[in-house]
Amino acid sequence: MSMSRARVARRIAAAAAYGGGGIGLLGGATVGLLMTEVQLARRVVGGSGDLPPNADGRYGLAFARQAGRRPLRLALAGDSTAAGQGVHRPRQTPGALLASGLAAVAECPVDLRTVALPGAQSDDLERQVTLLLTDSSLVPDVCVIMIGANDVTHRMPPARSVRLLADAVRRLREKNCQVVVGTCPDLGTIEPVYQPLRWVARRMSRQLAAAQTIGAVEQGGRTVSLGDLLGPEFEANPRELFGPDNYHPSAEGYATAAMAVLPTLCAALGLWPAEEDRPDTSRHEGILPVAEAAAQAAAEGGTEVAAAAPVGIRGPWVLLKRRRRRRLPPSEMPGAARAKVRGPDSTVHGPD
C-alpha cells in the first residue's frame, strides 16, 4: 500500500510542478455512489460557526529580561485546525501551545501571529503568506502551515493543492523563514463517517498528505504528518480528542498535535540537539527517497520528513524521523491534558 501511495504521490507532485490541473483519485461513478453516505455524514458531523479564540501575542515573558535577544517570531497559517477552531480559550489553540513550548525550549520570548482562516483551502495560502511578508521587518522566523482537509472535502484537484502549498513554502523560504507543514489530516478518523466513505476519505487524505510532503520538502520545508491528529489517540479516544462538532479537535486533541509538531519546529530553528537529527534505526528511521518517506509518513501521525541530500532522479533524499513528543509547559496545557504530562519547570505566560 505504501509503495502504491508513493507512486500516486510522485504523480501528483509532478503534475503540480509542471502545472497540471490534477489527477483524479476516484472515478465519477464511485463519487456518485458515495453521495448518499456524504449526506448521512453531514447530518452528524458538525462544523462550528464560532470564531477561533485570538491567541496572538507574546509568550515566555519570564525570559523577557534576558538582554541581547529579540523575541522569536512564530506564524500559524492554514485552515481551522491551525486557527484552533473548536476550543474556547486562547491558551488551548495550537498556536498558543506551540508558542509556549517554543519559548520554554529557546528560553526566549515568542511573538505569535495567526493568519489561518477557518474553512480555508490551499488557494488562500497566497493571501495569508502575503500578510506575513508585507512588513519586511516582521517576517516570521518560522511558520507552521496546517492545510488540506478542506481541499479534500471540496474536491480541489490534488495537483493544484500541492502546487499552491509549494508556492507558499517557496515564498517563505526565500525570505529565510523556516517552514513546518502539518500535512492533511486523516479524515477517515472522523467517527460518524461510515464505510465506504470512511475508507475513501482515508485514502484521499493520505494520498494528498504524501504529495504535500514531496512538494513542501522540495521547496526547503519540513513536514509533520498530522495523520489522525496525531497517532492512535484519536482513533482510540474519539469522544475525548474530537470537539463537540465531531470534526475539529478538542483541547486535548490540539495538545496532542502540538506535542508532536513542537520537536520539528525546534529542529527547524536549530534548537534541538544535533545528535537527534541522525536516524535512529531502532525507531525505524532512515534516509529514503522522498516519495517513499512521504508514503510512510502519511500512514503514521507525528512522522517528520526533512531534506537530507540534493535532488536526484527520484527527487531529494530525505530524513524520516519519528521524534519523541515534547512535553508542553503545564501552565499552558488544557485542564484535562495537564494531568497527563509534565513540562519544563520554567514559567511560560501567554494570553488566556
Residues taking part in catalysis: 80, 245, 248
Taking a C-beta distance cutoff of 8 angstroms, is the pair 95, 145 a contact? no
Taking a C-beta distance cutoff of 8 angstroms, is the pair 283, 208 a contact? no
Phi, psi (rounded to 5 degrees) for 28:
-60, -40
Convert 222-242 to b/e letters by CB count within 10 Å (16 or more is b). bbbbbbbbbbebbbeebeebb
3-state secondary structure of 265: helix
Convert 299-323 to b/e letters by CB count within 10 Å (16 or more is b). bbbbbbbbbbeeeeeebbbbbbbbb
Convert 118-138 to b/e letters by CB count within 10 Å (16 or more is b). bebbbebbeebbeebbeeeee
Phi, psi (rounded to 5 degrees) for 283:
-105, 15
Q: Which residues, listed in sequence order, are joined to residue 58 by a DSSP beta bridge?
A: 111
3-state secondary structure of 316: strand
Q: How many CB atoms are located within 10 Å of the residue 248 CB?
A: 25
DSSP H or E segment with residue 142: strand 142-146
